[in-house]
Amino acid sequence: MDSEGYLWNCRAGGSCVVRIDPDGGIDRIVEMPVHFPATCTFGGEGLRTLFITSGRPRPRHASKLDGSLFQLAVTTPGLAENRVRLNRGMT
């Protein structure tokens, strides 16, 4: 999630990452050079870089870039993730 409350979501099988507004509408679509972008997280200086991993699909969708890590500079910084520590035995 970024600092404006928008959610960034990888569309595995959809070759893109989308930025979703707080009401659920699509604000932005970032086309990717791979078929299976898998996960994304903010990092870098000021949390202004979106790091995107990609998966390796079946051979018919294969690309040389499958399994790569991508980075996207964003103007709206991400929110820092909260760390959680659970006691043993908790599920």
Is residue 62's pLDDT more than 90? Answer: no
Q: What average pLDDT does the segment 10-17 reach?
A: 95
Distance of CA 40 to the CA centre of its chain: 2
Q: Is 43 helix (H, G, I), strand (E, B) or coil?
A: strand
- Tell me, what's the pLDDT at 85? 80
Give me the residue spans of the domains in the chain. 7-73
Q: Strand 49-54 to strand 37-43: parallel, antiparallel, or no bridges (unpaired)?
A: antiparallel
Rounded alpha-carbon distances, angstroms, from residue 38 to 28, 88, 89: 17, 30, 30
- DSSP code for 30: E
pLDDT band at 91; cut points 50, 70, 90:
low
